Structure 1
Amino acid sequence: MNFIGTRKNNKHSDTIFSVLLSVLILALIGGCSEQNPAQEKPLNILFILTDDQAPDTVAAFGNNNINTPNLDSLANQGMRFSHVFNQGAWSGAVCLPSRQMINTGRHLYRTGLDARGMNDPKFVAKHTTFGETFKQSGYDTFQTGKWHLSMDVWRRSFTHGKAIHKNGMSRHEKGGHWDGNFTDYDGTKSGDAAFTDYKGGKHTSEVVADAAVDFLANRNDVSKPFMMYVGFLAPHDPLHAPDEYLAKYPRDKMQLPENFLKYHPFDQGDYYLRDEVLSGFPRSEKNIKAMLSKYYAMIEHTDAQIGRILAELEASGQADNTLIIYTSDHGLAMGQHGLLGKQNQYDHSVRAPFVVKGPNIPVGKTATGMFYLNSVFPTAAELAGLEIPESVDAPSIVPLINGEKDVAFDTVYGAYRHFQRMVRSQDYKLIYYPMIKRTQLFDMKADPLEIHDLSTKPEHADRIVSMMAQLEEWKVIVEDPLDLNAPQASYDAFLKLTWD
């Protein structure tokens, strides 16, 4: 029988054929849905942020002297970016501006905080935060660990919170990492009664990991997607690590950085800030090795806690439908260039490790990046299918993830108070010190450790002029208030700024 011929002359057959075809299509669609359930679900977000972790302190990024198996696994299963930058700081507490940029997606001088860390009330009402974007989209939003911004912004951003560390660091005299201050949030209560303060009683990295694991294991409504913001306090000083981890990094076996110096060649501004006087002058090789021993031990211990969170994510059945972004707020000098802290524009301090893993993310791929940490927010939003708020300045790096391009910016900018300004391409970096009218120029391809200053070489004079012009362009973009010809006066005016 010719089925087609029969169908042409039989209305009843037409009806049967239409019904059968519809059933077949629905069956095929249903079958596809069952085979790809993750595609039907909203994407979960797990954001992991460490504190003061230099860009070269993950084994997968090329450091053979440190053991970071969980971060290595994350990098090998996802995509890593080699050149990701903190844009700078208006104060010595570089951690605070970095977190403000991450949580607003905005540039350094456009975050809603002035140089004293005062909130602009118009900002609070006007701009949507990272967590708030997901909260308003029906996500369970959870935060644990270091926050360092106002608790008003915290309330706007999160539905759940446990082991929140409100402050910038857990100082040695207040318990350090062994007994830090934490706060739990109870959303059923209002006002101050919603927050309960307590002492951690164990290492801060373990307290934070405990809270993250507990959230994943005991969610009340698993039908909702989640957005987790996990902020470790480590490896920020005080350099406290369990003995079993310290034993893995004997002081006498630690290698000094190739760019170690006993003194920085000149006072770059805030040379005697708290971070810089954690060890004496001249820098002692013995002391720097001792500090590196503790620093590496803290990082490996934190890596183990990250492993616990990732294991619980797997156990929850949500791993295949979760975007993981791991990074740090900035780097740290730890003896390089004769410095200890992050109040400088060298790569060891302005860059951070960065890994993205999740559905449709390339596996085992490395790209350059050339973007700032404030791209975390719009990237997570775009990958989750959410609208990026208009207030966000930073670009999403989805085009980089998709391989459409290798870098977000041709040049990046950096600032530290009124003491330092920086502009960097993939090839060269210029650092300018307005207070002392000094310039440094480094060939970043031939001299990635920034050892040889080329600024006095006549053949680079035109390059310096061109890069200073690029710096001025970036100052306009980020609304940098500094007048390079009058740095003290222009920045004093910024410090006195009041919001009207």
Structure 2
Amino acid sequence: MKKRLLILLGVISCFIACKEQEKTQKKDKPNFIFLFADDYTYDAINALGNAEIKTPNLDRLVTTGTTFTNAYNMGAWNGAVCVASRSMIISGLSVWDAQKKYEAWKKDQDLEHTWGQYMKAAGYETYMGGKWHVTAKTQKVFDYVKNERPGMPKDRWDHAAMVKTFAELPKDINPATVMPLGYNRPKDEKDTLWNPADPTHGGYWEGGTHWSEVVKNDAVAFLDETKDREKPVFMYLAFNAPHDPRQAPQEFLDMYPLEQISLPKNWQEVYPDRVGIDNDYQLRDEALAPFPRTAYATKKHIQEYYALITHLDQQLGEIWKKVEETLDPKNTYIVFTADHGLAIGKHGLIGKQ
């Protein structure tokens, strides 16, 4: 009887020890907070040399972490570079192999070969919030999904309809005159039809709370909810910012007076090969500013771009603060990157296509 009791006690002790070891191993695994921006140019971080922009939290990442300054987007199989970029990130594959996954995910195939599923298999609680723009269904990739967003905030640009409109216009009518609100602007200093701080224009303001703040609020809530759980977390936080329409609260726009904004050194009024690359009015993100470019219009777009980035930076700082409150900061990796860059005035270009 004593022998059986000793054996039973030994089994229980071993079970408890194994459980404690398993618990310790889980806690030893690092947490990952992946911060993903949209249309973020390589030179829009103060600590990396741009003295005009205010990015205190990204500066902190630069000064306390590692920066990769020679990372490039591999390209795309279509004009929207972000779709291919995000498929590469989620699959871990190069561009053409990622395209195969992109097609498979449409049919709910190969979902186990996604970043979220890999992390889940490794013992992580996985979370996604914000922009997706990948064919795989988020609910089949992550444990938790909050406020999934489309490729960009709601826009008044119907590509097929606009191209048809341009084609049917008399030759003496400038296509720019029929563009929706928010495009071909500003024409001059008196053009105030579009106000990036006006919530009635929708876009990032749709729903009543700025989309960057929604991603941050959801992330902070999730960190509070999971702070006492045993599993490590993997959070994929994808912001639509600073993609157009570049809307931010007025206080952030006020940080960037036009007289303090410089034009890029390689700024041009017209990209010389515009016609050869079909860079005309129908190319949506190039149609945001008037043709030919003016110094005033370019500076306005840079101003709005910087304001949206600084607003985004504020949200990143609040997420970081919550990470330090709820997770072990010494055992947590915070990664910031973007799907691709943006011209935003360089070479007479505004967009990325």
TM (normalized to structure 2)? 0.76
User: Which residue of the partner structure matches residue 97 of structure 2?
Assistant: 110
DSSP 3-state at the match of 2:348: coil
For residues 250-300 of structure 1, the C-alpha deviation after alignment (integer angstroms, 9 at most, x for no partner) is: 123211000001111213524121111111211111000000000000000
Going from structure 1 to structure 2, the CA distance change for 1:135 and 1:317 (only over 3 Å counts) comes to: closer
Q: Superposed, which structure 2 residues align to 1:87-486 within 5 Å?
A: 87-113=74-100, 118-119=103-104, 124-125=109-110, 128-152=113-137, 154-165=138-149, 167-173=150-156, 175-179=202-206, 199=207, 201-219=208-226, 222-267=229-274, 268-272=276-280, 273-343=283-353
CA contact (8 A) 2:130 2:239 kept: yes
Counterparts of 2:37 and 2:255, CA distance in 1: 21
DSSP 3-state at the match of 1:162: strand
CA contact (8 A) 1:38 1:320 kept: no
Q: What is the Cα deviation at residue 221 of structure 1? A: 5.6
CA contact (8 A) 2:256 2:306 kept: yes
User: Which residue of the partner structure matches residue 73 of structure 2?
Assistant: 86
CA contact (8 A) 2:84 2:95 kept: yes
Structure 1 unaligned runs (5+)? 1-32, 180-198, 344-500
DSSP 3-state at the match of 1:81: coil
Counterparts of 1:100 and 1:317, CA distance in 2: 29
For residues 302-327 of structure 1, the C-alpha deviation after alignment (integer angstroms, 9 at most, x for no partner) is: 00000000000011132221111110
DSSP 3-state at the match of 1:332: coil
CA contact (8 A) 1:38 1:321 kept: no
Counterparts of 1:142 and 1:302, CA distance in 2: 19
Counterparts of 1:104 and 1:291, CA distance in 2: 33
CA contact (8 A) 1:112 1:120 kept: no
One-letter amino acid matched to 2:88: M
Counterparts of 2:260 and 2:63, CA distance in 1: 28
User: Which residue of the partner structure matches residue 45 of structure 2?
Assistant: 58
Structure 2 unaligned runs (5+)? 1-20, 157-200
User: Which residue of the partner structure matches residue 162 of structure 2?
Assistant: none
One-letter amino acid matched to 1:150: T
User: Which residue of the partner structure matches residue 46 of structure 1?
Assistant: 33
DSSP 3-state at the match of 2:226: coil
Larger proportion of strand: 1
Counterparts of 1:126 and 1:80, CA distance in 2: 31
User: In terms of Rg, which structure is larger?
Assistant: 1
DSSP 3-state at the match of 2:71: strand
1:73 to 2:60 alignment: yes
Q: State the number of aligned residues.
A: 284
Counterparts of 1:123 and 1:110, CA distance in 2: 17
DSSP 3-state at the match of 2:219: helix
Q: What is the Cα deviation at residue 162 of structure 1? A: 1.2
DSSP 3-state at the match of 2:67: strand
Q: CA RMSD in A?
A: 2.2
Counterparts of 1:242 and 1:204, CA distance in 2: 12
CA contact (8 A) 1:313 1:319 kept: yes
Counterparts of 1:222 and 1:85, CA distance in 2: 37
Going from structure 1 to structure 2, the CA distance change for 1:119 and 1:275 (only over 3 Å counts) comes to: farther
For residues 366-387 of structure 1, the C-alpha deviation after alignment (integer angstroms, 9 at most, x for no partner) is: xxxxxxxxxxxxxxxxxxxxxx
Question: Relative contact order (alpha carbons < 8 A, sep ≥ 6): 1 or 2 greater?
Answer: 2
TM (normalized to structure 1)? 0.54
Which deviates the most, 232-241 or 268-277? 268-277
For residues 395-440 of structure 1, the C-alpha deviation after alignment (integer angstroms, 9 at most, x for no partner) is: xxxxxxxxxxxxxxxxxxxxxxxxxxxxxxxxxxxxxxxxxxxxxx
Counterparts of 1:302 and 1:38, CA distance in 2: 34
Counterparts of 2:231 and 2:285, CA distance in 1: 43
For residues 320-358 of structure 1, the C-alpha deviation after alignment (integer angstroms, 9 at most, x for no partner) is: 211111101111001101111112xxxxxxxxxxxxxxx
CA contact (8 A) 2:126 2:234 kept: yes
Q: What is the Cα deviation at residue 112 of structure 1? A: 3.6
DSSP 3-state at the match of 1:218: helix
CA contact (8 A) 2:111 2:141 kept: no
CA contact (8 A) 2:261 2:299 kept: yes
One-letter amino acid matched to 1:160: Y
CA contact (8 A) 2:247 2:308 kept: yes
Counterparts of 1:113 and 1:296, CA distance in 2: 36
Going from structure 1 to structure 2, the CA distance change for 1:121 and 1:242 (only over 3 Å counts) comes to: closer
CA contact (8 A) 1:333 1:341 kept: yes
Counterparts of 1:276 and 1:40, CA distance in 2: 48
Counterparts of 1:252 and 1:244, CA distance in 2: 17
Going from structure 1 to structure 2, the CA distance change for 1:39 and 1:113 (only over 3 Å counts) comes to: closer
Going from structure 1 to structure 2, the CA distance change for 1:92 and 1:163 (only over 3 Å counts) comes to: same
Identical-residue share of aligned pairs (%): 40
User: Which residue of the partner structure matches residue 190 of structure 2?
Assistant: none
CA contact (8 A) 1:70 1:304 kept: yes
Counterparts of 1:121 and 1:147, CA distance in 2: 14
